[in-house]
Amino acid sequence: MGKLERHATIADVAALAGVSVGTASKALNGRGSLREETRMRVREAARQLSFEVNAGARNLHSGRTYTVGMITTDTIGRFSIPVLMGAEDALGAGQMSVFLCDGRDDPIREQYHVKTLLSRRVDGIIVTGRRTQARAPISVGLPVVYAFISSTDPDDCSVVPDETGGARKAVEHLMAIGRTRIAHVTGPEHHHSARVRAQAVADRLAEAGLSVAGPPLFGAWSEIWGRQAVGMLLAGGTSFDAVFCGSDQIARGVADALRAVGRRVPEDVALVGFDNWDVMTRGCQPPLTSVDMNLEGLGRTAAEMLLAAINGTPSPGRHARPCHLVVRESSTVPLGPEARV
Amino acid sequence: MGKLERHATIADVAALAGVSVGTASKALNGRGSLREETRMRVREAARQLSFEVNAGARNLHSGRTYTVGMITTDTIGRFSIPVLMGAEDALGAGQMSVFLCDGRDDPIREQYHVKTLLSRRVDGIIVTGRRTQARAPISVGLPVVYAFISSTDPDDCSVVPDETGGARKAVEHLMAIGRTRIAHVTGPEHHHSARVRAQAVADRLAEAGLSVAGPPLFGAWSEIWGRQAVGMLLAGGTSFDAVFCGSDQIARGVADALRAVGRRVPEDVALVGFDNWDVMTRGCQPPLTSVDMNLEGLGRTAAEMLLAAINGTPSPGRHARPCHLVVRESSTVPLGPEARV
DNA sequence: GTGAAAGCGCTAACAC
DNA sequence: GTGTTAGCGCTTTCAC
């Protein structure tokens, strides 16, 4: 570890190759017109010295650093990771490097990170977070794209999942397999996603002349809440042949509780979750149908829009990307008449 | 978004404040001896122009960039996140920024990232991954620290969890609550962690004059395997009053399967998992006792060692950090005589 | 085709 | 105290 031999400079390369630095620079960057032999000689010298161009010094001229900052509003978590990865992937392909900054839900900390990024002369910034709720914009004189999370300023570029569309697809799927008494169990009412999805469920059912079986049940984003909710549904005497849940964790709790009281999934009750989190959908008995928000795609799109903005073609506004439904066994059996309770 | 007004330079600040660039630089960096009034005037000018020093230009002198690269061997996942976060936290406090690079298990891609980091003149590199198995070192003339994962070169600095110690603690805990017939269900045998933990279990039991109830069961890191394994234990007629699992997911599968056949946890069978992954430990019925590897602490320690190495005080070698046991209800009831089957 | 020189934004000697 | 100057490593005119 750490034999700290000085990095070779282009002057070193030039000296070894017996040319001037200007020539060496041209040779290595494929600019100007040089004799092929000279070009090779310089390349060989660079190889010998394992020369890697000093990006910082180069950037001094171009004004650009081919670097972007990625800031998470809150802590890095299950939702931000895929977004980060998608973005990292798209940016890496465009030769950009990514500075990772964890905001930790602390505005001071975030502000500090923004300053640092500015000081490092990033070409743009991607802001993400673990909830879809809109947040106050960060104001810097640079291209900024919000991914998953969105900015309260409608002119800012935000790439978000179409949660309403996703919830509608879930309901439509359940109706398509013959379910008409669909309950909805979701997260806390103060949570943006919970409200949006619940509203979408109510709307879509209303369009079909139906209504939610029992009122939507707001609680927590946890398995425990899913289990409790089943108790409430049963105690309330609600008749239901399907449950659409606001998250996979909730759905999993619902599945466990239903099994515990002898209701079969999917025969008696079809079940659909939200997030398509493999750990949950596969661990669930039976495997869980779920809505996928395509977070990695969101990150990739955000990165592409940021690159475009950096190159002078911004895409202002809120861009909602479709969710898709992944059907598994928890909702595969059409409701036969014998299963009606 | 993106009013791309040029970044203010120190020359702009100097001009506005009516001083030379040298003076402005001193004023902003608190060096040299200046009249307090001058200092203020420069600061004010910088504020007005929202000047942020160009870190790249500054680094040209210092040789250091106050930047480190973080490379994940495989894809960014559940294990690398906490490590990343711990490191990001420790580094951020030291004014360092972090370049995130996702290796995706692709050596070509990794090599590309290493080159990029070299070109950006990072001061050091942290390598991590989702498995503890040793990997081939990346050879660069820079301080490198391996976190969670380790390097096959024993002289490289690696910060890893003491999995053996963790497994021993789990076994000791089970013995302390009176269990003597302890089964072990874990991941694939070709997986380093599975082997190490299984060996530790066997060794610790042997020290107490006991042996594993039934042979250690190697399978997959999944809930499904946990459920299957219970079937195998029962079918094999193995008598057991505790199961120590190689992961929380496996433990959870075991819990579900035991409940399904009427064995009570923890009364009949005490259960301990590994990873202390909150989603699993809390979702489990009952909440799961588990071994915590303190991944965030690992990341933090790795970052601190990297900083020390950058400052000339390397810590070569493999550093194993203790795991600790988090006791929850799945193992709280001492075995009473009446529960013995 | 190749070299010399200016300059990107900043810091650190050294004058004054 | 403050200004001047010489680089840091690189690219890019512009001579030759």
> In the listed set B19, B47, B62, which residue is the last one of a domain according to the structure?
B62
Is residue B1 situated within a structural domain? no
pLDDT of amino acid B336:
58
* B29 CB and strand C closer than 7 A: yes
Residue B169 and residue B287 in one domain? yes
Number of domains present in the structure of chain B:
3
Residue A147 and residue A209 in one domain? no
Residue A131 and residue A185 in one domain? no
Is residue B142 situated within a structural domain? yes
The answer, for B283 touching chain A at a CB cutoff of 8 Å, is: yes
Is residue B339 situated within a structural domain? no
Instruction: Please calculate the CA angle B169-B174-B175 and round it to the nearest 5 degrees.
Output: 95
Residue A287 and residue A249 in one domain? yes
The answer, for A156 touching chain B at a CB cutoff of 8 Å, is: yes
Is residue A112 situated within a structural domain? yes
Contact B31, B42 (CB under 8 A): no
Residue-wise pLDDT tens digits, A125-141:
999 999 999 999 998 99
Residue-wise pLDDT tens digits, A44-84:
999 999 999 999 999 999 989 999 999 999 888 889 999 99
The mean pLDDT value for B152-158 works out to: 97
Residue A167 and residue A314 in one domain? no
Structural domain for A89, as ranges: 67-161+294-321
Q: Which residue is nearest to nucleotide D1 (CA to C1')?
A: B34
Residue A260 and residue A304 in one domain? no
Give contacts of A 239-268 with B, CB under 8 A: 249, 252-253, 256
Q: Is the pTM of this model over 0.85?
A: yes
Task: In whole angstroms, give the CA distance from residue B272 to residue B293.
Answer: 14
Residue-wise pLDDT tens digits, A188-198:
999 999 999 99
Residue A299 and residue A239 in one domain? no
CATH number reported for the structural domain that contains residue A260 in this entry: 3.40.50.2300
Residue B88 and residue B170 in one domain? no
Whether the pLDDT of residue B22 is over 80: the answer is yes
Residue-wise pLDDT tens digits, B288-325:
999 999 999 999 999 999 999 999 999 999 999 999 99
Task: In whole angstroms, give the CA distance from residue A149 to residue A136.
Answer: 10
CATH number reported for the structural domain that contains residue B45 in this entry: 1.10.260.40
Task: In whole angstroms, give the CA distance from residue B228 to residue B257.
Answer: 8
Structure tokens at A165: 């569309």
Size of interface A-B (CB pairs under 8 A): 153
> In the listed set A274, A292, A310, which residue is the last one of a domain according to the structure?
A292
Residue A155 and residue A168 in one domain? no
Q: In this structure, what DSSP letter does residue A31 have? A: -
Mean pLDDT of chain B: 94
Residue B304 and residue B258 in one domain? no
Residue B277 and residue B316 in one domain? no
How far: A325 CA to C7 C1' (Å)?
57
Instruction: Give burial (CB, 10 Å; 0-12/13-18/19+) of A62.
Output: exposed
DSSP B234-301: HHTT---SEEEESSHHHHHHHHHHHHHTT--TTTT-EEEEES--HHHHHHSSSPPEEEE--HHHHHHH
Is residue A335 situated within a structural domain? no
Residue B242 and residue B232 in one domain? yes
* B53 CB and strand C closer than 7 A: yes
Instruction: Please calculate the CA angle B98-B99-B104 and round it to the nearest 5 degrees.
Output: 130
Is residue B337 situated within a structural domain? no
Is residue B340 situated within a structural domain? no
Is residue A339 situated within a structural domain? no
Q: Which residue is nearest to nucleotide C5 (CA to C1')?
A: A22
